[in-house]
Structure 1
Amino acid sequence: MQTYQLDLLEGLSPFVLNELKPLNARILGKGKDFLRIAFPGKPLPLLQLRTVVAVSRIERFEVPRPKALLGHQHLTRLLSIVQDTLKLGTFASFRFAAAGSDSSVFQRLAEEISKQSGLRHDPEEGELVLRVLKAGEGWEVLIRLSPRPLSARPWRVANMEGGLNATVAAAMLQLAHVEKHDVVYNPMCGSGTLMIECGQIYGARKVSGCDLDFEHVEFARSNLQAAGLPFEVDIADATHLDLPDQSVDVILCDLPWGDNVGTNTGNLVLYPEFFREMTRIASAGARMVLISHEVKLMDRLIKGQSDWKLLREDRVYHGGHFPRIYTFNRTV
């Protein structure tokens, strides 16, 4: 079996493991932001994982230093691995991610790879990424199998500062347990990441959302169109929605964190009002999955209310912060 490294955001390994369960992968090792696995057959199923940032093939070379990779046997093997990777996607360029990647050794390796593969060497933005790492007495080459990180979804044609990482959104959808008969609502939807992840994974009866910012709504509509999803997004205040009482089965929301979006002072008013409105629109037994970096504020709100039961709290890494994903069930 071939070995691979799955790069992920810290805190998401339980969700990645959930995705791996039906794939007959064997876990070889793990760290806070990666898993190493053995996987039989072609790696295409690994490239469909939604909670993984990137998938790399691992190849070990029993050499004392990277210069030895220029030897005929090792270079032939490395070039063969590059050719195998080119069959998995459309690559136009490559780069090394390694200590000393600007050295004469890596320049010579780059010349050989470029000559044999036809790829352009782009040290900054190369699509096929080769990481060269010291591993015990030898070295490992990790070859990323996709031209872009898997977290960079192809439907994302409009981006907003402070937007939600798609792999975190996919984890939130795992927690929401969306079913076909559900009505799903995404208040403060931003660029539409949660709605699109929901639409591409689950067949809910209805998915819609809103945002108070006109530009965000336009972003969401553009991304939804690119994803081929006909969901409605309205300009609306998430604390005063034009929705009937008890009409929503699943609520998904990336609340303002008070940095790129919103303010800490404003959140002191917004969060309680948001909880009151979600309580009004939630059906009996509704699920609500939120993400926020306002940890102390959320703790106070959770302790001061009885309408929602906190089922779990997951700490994840996101954009230099460690927000929490909160999973609730509407109490009856």
Structure 2
Amino acid sequence: MDDDNSTKGAYVTTGSEFTRDTNYIATRITRDGRDGYPVEAGRYRLVAARACPWANRTLIVRRLLGLEDAISLGLTGPTHDKRSWTFDLDEGGRDPVLGYERLQEAYFARFPDYERGITVPAVVDVPTGQVVTNNYPQITLDFSTEWTDFHRDGAPELYPERHRDEIDEVAQRVFTEVNNGVYRCGFAGSQEAYDKAYDRLFTALDWLEERLSGQRYLVGDTITEADVRLFTTLARFDPVYHGHFKCNRQKLSEFSALWGYARDLFQTPGFGDTTDFVQIKQHYYVVHVDINPTQIVPKGPDLAGWLTSHGREQLGGRPFGDGTPPPPPRPAEVVPAGHGAGAA
């Protein structure tokens, strides 16, 4: 392990509450190519990290919609320093398509003076090697709405027009209070900031618990973008956020509806089979040295419960609506053995 913490990022500002920089690269890949990047099969590479909840969303949506042939996938390792995510899972430590050691290289290829964080997910234009966008909320929406010509037969509608207003409303509250709320707890720089963040988080989780007690999914009777966005935080709650981020009023497994809902999704193709608990724990406990200076990764919790019966079918609903489940993951994209549910 690198003992020189000067290469590590700092996440906590003493005396302050955590504020996320949400100024991402706004360029979009669209059917009409109005930003200079038209939808084109084989042209773009999605760079993601299984460890990251924001990137995990793109892995789920790409798989549910069947975009594997249209958009290739590069996976970084679970840890990074303050400069960049790295391709240390690949032979020679380089992405086999882009030839890069660091995702940073794709950002600098387009913006030589790029000063913001080098984040995943990122979509890279393969011919130029330049990053197109890292705007993760828009990436998954565009996968659903702009890439329809390349969806698989039976692809679900994850952002149906009739429910978009409600999806947007629910997803916004989920983002501010839950997706980002756990970080607001974990990166709080004062007791006051932490206490406030903790109360906000569990107020929102109580709201979700009540909402999901009477309906199988967040909006309508099928899986939508809103469910994808909530799931990736729930999957990390007990392994990371409960202890590492001090979100410890109760575990996810101690909520009745939320725990059943999370297991229902986990056992749905596209969700659990893109979740790598080993990489998730390695990322948070190794990277955040100002919270966990020993960089010791805990062995627990026991994850076998993710595979237990959830009983959510009694609430009705059809996971894929008029569509069908995706086929099994491609061999090269399978989560490594021992990294899923049941892994210690």
Common topology (TM > 0.5): no
Higher normalized helix content (fraction of residues) = 2
Larger RCO, structure (CA 8 Å, separation 6 or more): 2
TM-score, normalisation: structure 1: 0.31
Higher normalized strand content (fraction of residues) = 1
Larger radius of gyration: 1
